[in-house]
Structure 1
Amino acid sequence: MDFQRVFIFLGLAVTGYFLILTWQQDYGSKTATEEIPYISQEETALDGSVPSTPAQSDSSIPELSTIPTMPLSAVSPATQAPSQPLISVETDVLRARINPVGGDIVAISLPAFPATLEQEDQPLRLVSDFNRYQLQSGLIGPDGIDKAGNRPIFQSAQVDYELGSRNELRVELTPNLDGVNELSIQKEYVFRSGDYLVDVSYEIENRGSTPKTMAFFGQIKRDGQPPQEQDSNFMTLQPFIGGATRREDERYFKIDLEDLNEAPYQYDFTGGYIAFLQHYFLTAWVPFRDQTVRYFGKPAAGSAGLYTIGYTAAPVTIAPGERVELGGQLYMGPKDQPRLASIAEGLDLTVDYGFLWFIAQPLFSGLTWIFDWVGNWGVAIILLTVCVKILLYPLSAASFKSMARMRKLQPEMVRLRDRYGEDRQKLGQAMMDLYKKEKVNPLGGCFPILLQMPVFLALYWTLMESVELRQAPFIGWITDLSAMDPYFVLPILMGISMFLTQMMQPEPPDPIQAKVFKFMPVMFTFFFLWFPSGLVLYWLVNNILSVLQQLYVTRQIELGRD
Structure 2
Amino acid sequence: MDWQKNLLIAAILTTLLMLVIRWHEFQEQRPAPAAVASQTSSSAATPTGAVPSATSEIPVAANELSEAAKVELAAEKLITVKTDSFDLVINPLGGDIVQLALPRHFLKLDTPDQPFVLLDNRDNHTYLAQSGLIGLNGTDTAQGRPLFSSEQQSYQLADGQQQLQVDLVLQQGDVKITKRFTFTRGDYLIKVDYLIDNQSAAAWSAQLYGQIKRDSQNFVKVSALEMNPFLGAAITTTDENYKKLTFAKIAEKEFKTTEKGGWVAMVQHYFISAWIPDADSQNTYHLRKLGNNDLYLMGFTGKVNEVAAGSQGVISAGFYAGPKDTKRLEEISPYLDLTVDYGWLWWVAKPLFWVLKFIHNLVGNWGLAIIGLTLCVKLLFFKLSATSYKSMAKMRKLAPKMAEMKERYGDDRQKFSQEMMKMYKTEKVNPFGGCLPLLIQMPVFLALYYVLMESVELRHSPFFGWILDLSVKDPYFVLPIIYGITMYFMQKLNPQPTDPMQARIMQMLPLIFTFMFLWFPAGLVLYWVTNNSLSILQQYIITKQIDAEPSHK
Question: 2:291 matched to 1:301?
Answer: yes
TM-score scaled by structure 1? Answer: 0.92
* Inter-partner Cα distance in structure 1 for 2:517 and 2:357: 24
* Inter-partner Cα distance in structure 1 for 2:60 and 2:534: 66
Conservation of the 8 A alpha-carbon contact between 1:95 and 1:110? yes
Query: RMSD across aligned C-alpha pairs, in angstroms?
Result: 2.1
Counting only pairs closer than 5 Å after superposition, residues 119-518 of structure 1 correspond to structure 2 as 119-129=111-121, 131-147=125-141, 150-165=144-159, 166-175=161-170, 180-226=172-218, 228-231=219-222, 233-302=223-292, 304-518=293-507
SS at match of 2:495: coil
Residues 238-284 of structure 1: per-residue CA shift (max 9 Å, x gap): 32112222222333222332222222121111112111111111111
Conservation of the 8 A alpha-carbon contact between 1:29 and 1:236? no
* Inter-partner Cα distance in structure 1 for 2:364 and 2:314: 45
Residues 470-508 of structure 1: per-residue CA shift (max 9 Å, x gap): 111111111111111111100100000000011111111
* Inter-partner Cα distance in structure 2 for 1:428 and 1:519: 28
Kindly provide the amino acid, as one letter, of the partner of residue 373 in structure 1.
L
SS at match of 2:112: strand
* Inter-partner Cα distance in structure 2 for 1:445 and 1:73: 69
Conservation of the 8 A alpha-carbon contact between 2:62 and 2:145? no
SS at match of 1:556: helix
Aligned twin of 2:17: 17
How many residue pairs were aligned?
540
Runs of 4+ in 1 over 4 A off after TM superposition: 73-77
More off after superposition, 475-484 vs 311-320: 311-320
SS at match of 1:325: strand
Kindly provide the amino acid, as one letter, of the partner of residue 301 in structure 1.
G
* Inter-partner Cα distance in structure 1 for 2:40 and 2:85: 22
Kindly provide the amino acid, as one letter, of the partner of residue 78 in structure 2.
L
SS at match of 1:129: coil
Conservation of the 8 A alpha-carbon contact between 2:61 and 2:144? no
Conservation of the 8 A alpha-carbon contact between 1:407 and 1:506? yes
Kindly provide the amino acid, as one letter, of the partner of residue 69 in structure 1.
E
* Inter-partner Cα distance in structure 1 for 2:143 and 2:365: 52
Aligned twin of 1:45: 49
* Inter-partner Cα distance in structure 1 for 2:136 and 2:62: 14
* Inter-partner Cα distance in structure 1 for 2:483 and 2:273: 38
TM-score scaled by structure 2? Answer: 0.93
* Inter-partner Cα distance in structure 2 for 1:156 and 1:77: 20
Conservation of the 8 A alpha-carbon contact between 2:50 and 2:59? no
* Inter-partner Cα distance in structure 1 for 2:169 and 2:404: 92
Counting only pairs closer than 5 Å after superposition, residues 60-79 of structure 1 correspond to structure 2 as 69-70=57-58, 72=60, 78-79=66-67
* Inter-partner Cα distance in structure 2 for 1:129 and 1:440: 66
Shift of 1:408: 1.5
Structure 1 residues 124 and 327, CA gap change in structure 2 (3 angstroms): same
Residues 398-420 of structure 1: per-residue CA shift (max 9 Å, x gap): 11111111111111112112223
Kindly provide the amino acid, as one letter, of the partner of residue 17 in structure 1.
L
* Inter-partner Cα distance in structure 1 for 2:30 and 2:183: 28
Structure 1 residues 482 and 148, CA gap change in structure 2 (3 angstroms): farther
Kindly provide the amino acid, as one letter, of the partner of residue 234 in structure 1.
A
Shift of 1:317: 2.8
Residues 169-204 of structure 1: per-residue CA shift (max 9 Å, x gap): 1111123x5xx5232111111111111111111112
Percent identity at matched positions?
A: 44
Shift of 1:322: 2.4
Question: 2:103 matched to 1:106?
Answer: no
* Inter-partner Cα distance in structure 1 for 2:252 and 2:76: 39
Residues 437-491 of structure 1: per-residue CA shift (max 9 Å, x gap): 3232222211101111111110010011111111111111111111111111001
Conservation of the 8 A alpha-carbon contact between 1:41 and 1:78? no
* Inter-partner Cα distance in structure 2 for 1:349 and 1:42: 33
Conservation of the 8 A alpha-carbon contact between 1:8 and 1:446? yes
* Inter-partner Cα distance in structure 2 for 1:257 and 1:10: 35
Gaps of 5+ in 1: 54-67
More off after superposition, 342-351 vs 22-31: 22-31
* Inter-partner Cα distance in structure 1 for 2:221 and 2:46: 29
